[in-house]
């Protein structure tokens, strides 16, 4: 069953159930009151009209006795004062919770069932009115219904006969109806308040969540919900907002990656097309006989060779990048002596830099036994990529690159600094991003895919280090990266 249907059923039950229960209570009381009257007063024919008028109801209990006494008062009034007859009548009335009281000349001359002096005094006072005939009235203070009539003896003495019926437990139907409607009103107000509370506390929040989900499904990740208060609904709102933000970030990341992929394809197309076009041109020159001298032929072949190397380097960078993205970079970690390792690297790249009129300087201030845990091949890729980047953007006739190893207590900081054209502060924060190139037009001779430094950053981070750059425009750029030193465990500290 849907939540909305459940709530509607709950709303209906909240309204109908109290009404049904109140009705059951009302009719239950009617049955109880009827049974009470039947048991105490011997009346079998109990109906709503009887309950609605208590004076008439209790007056009818002694209707038969009252008629007999009235007939006797007309035919033989003196017999009404005979004690044996009165005792017999009193006994019959007692079965109906009633008593007989005779007043003569304003004084009670017969009373064997009532011991309440105040009630008797009230009866004497009430019956001083000689105009009362066959009257019935209710004395609220004493919970008694009084039926009386007056008669006159042969000697002219004035007498009053009273039948007093005790009302043991009675609530009139009118009072009961008032209570019924009062309870019904309270229940209805309570139901309305509960419905309003449930609507605002459950149904409306669920509707808002549904609307928010629809916005998310439509791609609108900025539709936030205000999670006021505490409780499950607030937690749902908060979970929705967190989900929305994660989906937004994920979508933005996906879009960014798609844009980067498109840019990569565009860059690769350009970077592949440029050397291939050159190679094709030089090959056609050879085929057409343009290289008609040994010197031209040698120059053409060297150019083709260099362009082929550029293609190979680009393909290698793309392969490494693909492995990084798929987390398949093959690392072979081992202990490396930093001084020995960088000494070999400097010797290897130094000759190549000399041919490009770039001077390479190498200094270190670390102990000779400084060791780190690293993959020598991947660390060499880092050094080559950084130096290659420096060479690519070198704009000085006499270039210079410095490699420095600095001691930082438990780490080694490597600095590779050049005196090239430098990077502006705006570009400096983006140089480690994938596919970023300071020369976005790609129309200069530097070329490159723009993923070299992103590969460097990934490798250093996978080694547990970190990297950053500092630069001044027209003065040069310095790359800094830090690797933790390897220290042998102290056997004395091993338990």
The CATH code of the domain that includes 426 is: 3.30.565.10
Query: What distance lies between CA 60 and its chain's CA centroid?
Result: 68
Closest to 374 in 3D by CA, of 485, 488, 466, 487: 485
Long-range Cβ pairs for the range 323-327 (8 Å, 24+): 324/454, 324/455, 324/458
Would you tell me how many other CB atoms lie within 10 Å of the CB of residue 166? Answer: 18
Confidence at residue 314, expressed as pLDDT on a 0 to 100 scale: 76
Shared-domain flag, residues 108 and 185? no
Confidence at residue 37, expressed as pLDDT on a 0 to 100 scale: 61
Confidence at residue 426, expressed as pLDDT on a 0 to 100 scale: 86
CA 416 – CA 490 distance, rounded (Å): 34
Domain membership flag for residue 358: yes
Shared-domain flag, residues 144 and 183? no
Domain membership flag for residue 21: yes
Q: How many domains in the chain?
A: 4
Show the tokens assigned to 256. 């960014």
What are the beta bridge partners of residue 478?
417, 470
Task: Give me the sign of the Cα torsion angle 350, 356, 358, 359.
Answer: positive
Domain membership flag for residue 197: yes
* Positions in the chain whose pLDDT score sits under 70: 1-7, 10, 29-30, 32-34, 36-59, 126-136, 168-178, 227-231, 264, 271, 324-329, 434-450, 489-495
Domain-ending residue, one of 273, 291, 306: 273
For residue 88, give the CATH number of its domain.
3.30.450
Confidence at residue 383, expressed as pLDDT on a 0 to 100 scale: 93
CA 322 – CA 53 distance, rounded (Å): 98
Question: Under a CB-based contact definition with an 8 Å cutoff, are residues 122 and 103 in contact?
Answer: no
Give the angle 405-407-413 at the CA atoms, nearest 5°: 55
Domain membership flag for residue 306: no
- Domain range enclosing 242: 220-273
Shared-domain flag, residues 60 and 152? yes
Angle between helices 452-462 and 294-325 in degrees, nearest 10: 40
Shared-domain flag, residues 72 and 112? yes
Confidence at residue 333, expressed as pLDDT on a 0 to 100 scale: 92
Shared-domain flag, residues 167 and 178? no
Shared-domain flag, residues 22 and 92? no
Shared-domain flag, residues 165 and 187? no
Closest to 167 in 3D by CA, of 51, 68, 86, 26: 51
Terminal alpha carbon distance of the chain? 63
The residues, any chain, with a CB within 8 Å of residue 139's CB and separated by 6 or more, are 119, 122, 145, 146
Show the tokens assigned to 293. 């001298």
Domain membership flag for residue 454: yes
Shared-domain flag, residues 186 and 42? yes
pTM: 0.47
Query: Position of tokens 């002219």?
Result: 156
Show the tokens assigned to 1. 């069953």
Task: Give me the sign of the Cα torsion angle 38, 43, 47, 52.
Answer: negative
Closest to 372 in 3D by CA, of 435, 440, 443, 465: 465
CA distances from 191 to 148, 182, 187, 457 (A): 51, 14, 6, 66
Shared-domain flag, residues 182 and 166? no
Domain membership flag for residue 144: yes
Domain membership flag for residue 301: no
Domain-ending residue, one of 273, 298, 314: 273
Domain membership flag for residue 321: no
Strands 358-364 and 98-104: unpaired
CA 97 – CA 94 distance, rounded (Å): 5
What are the beta bridge partners of residue 100?
163
The residues, any chain, with a CB within 8 Å of residue 306's CB and separated by 6 or more, are none
Shared-domain flag, residues 42 and 74? no
Shared-domain flag, residues 233 and 136? no
Residue 95 phi, psi dihedral angles, 5° rounding = -70, -15
Shared-domain flag, residues 382 and 440? yes
Confidence at residue 442, expressed as pLDDT on a 0 to 100 scale: 43
Show the tokens assigned to 110. 């017969």
């Amino acid at each position: 069953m849907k939540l909305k249907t459940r709530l509607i059923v709950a709303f209906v039950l909240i309204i109908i159930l109290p009404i049904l229960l109140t009705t059951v209570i009302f009719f239950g009381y009617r049955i109880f009151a009827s049974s009470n009257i039947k048991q105490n007063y011997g009346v079998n024919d109990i109906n709503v009209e009887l309950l609605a008028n208590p004076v008439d109801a209790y007056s009818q209990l002694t209707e038969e006795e009252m008629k007999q006494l009235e007939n006797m008062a007309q035919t033989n009034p003196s017999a009404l004062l005979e004690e044996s007859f009165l005792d017999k009548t009193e006994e019959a009335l007692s079965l109906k919770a009633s008593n007989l009281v005779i007043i003569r000349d304003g004084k009670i001359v017969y009373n064997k069932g009532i011991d309440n002096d105040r009630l008797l005094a009230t009866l004497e006072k009430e019956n001083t009115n000689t105009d009362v005939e066959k009257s019935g009235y209710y004395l609220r203070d004493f919970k008694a219904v009084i039926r009386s009539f007056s008669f006159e003896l042969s000697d002219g003495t004035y007498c009053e006969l009273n039948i007093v019926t005790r009302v043991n437990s009675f609530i009139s139907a009118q009072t009961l109806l008032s209570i019924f409607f009062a309870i019904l009103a309270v229940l209805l107000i309570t139901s309305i308040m509960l419905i309003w509370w449930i609507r605002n506390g459950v149904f409306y929040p669920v509707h808002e969540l549904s609307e928010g989900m629809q916005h998310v499904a439509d791609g609108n990740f900025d539709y936030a919900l205000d999670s006021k208060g505490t409780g499950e609904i607030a937690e749902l709102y908060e979970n929705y907002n967190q989900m929305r933000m994660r989906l937004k970030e994920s979508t933005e990341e996906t879009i960014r990656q798609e844009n980067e992929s498109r840019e990569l394809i565009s860059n690769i197309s350009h970077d592949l097309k440029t050397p291939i076009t050159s190679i094709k041109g030089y090959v056609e020159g050879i085929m057409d006989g343009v290289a008609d001298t040994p010197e031209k032929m040698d120059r053409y072949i060297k150019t083709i060779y260099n362009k082929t190397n550029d293609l190979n380097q680009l393909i290698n960078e793309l392969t490494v990048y693909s492995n990084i993205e798929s987390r398949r970079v093959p690392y072979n970690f081992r202990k490396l002596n930093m001084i020995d390792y960088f000494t070999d690297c400097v010797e290897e790249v130094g000759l190549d830099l000399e041919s490009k009129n770039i001077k390479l300087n190498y200094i270190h201030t670390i102990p000779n036994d400084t060791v780190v845990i690293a993959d020598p091949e991947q660390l060499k890729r880092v050094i080559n990529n950084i130096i290659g980047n420096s060479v690519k953007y070198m704009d000085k006739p006499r270039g210079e690159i410095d490699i420095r190893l600095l001691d930082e207590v438990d780490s080694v900081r490597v600095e590779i600094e050049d005196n090239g054209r430098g990077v502006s502060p705006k570009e400096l924060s983006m140089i480690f991003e994938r596919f970023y190139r300071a020369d976005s037009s790609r129309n200069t001779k530097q070329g490159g895919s723009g993923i070299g430094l992103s590969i460097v950053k990934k490798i250093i981070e996978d080694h547990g280090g970190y990297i950053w750059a500092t630069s001044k425009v027209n003065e040069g750029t310095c790359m800094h990266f830090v690797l933790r030193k390897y220290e042998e465990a102290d056997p004395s500290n091993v338990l």
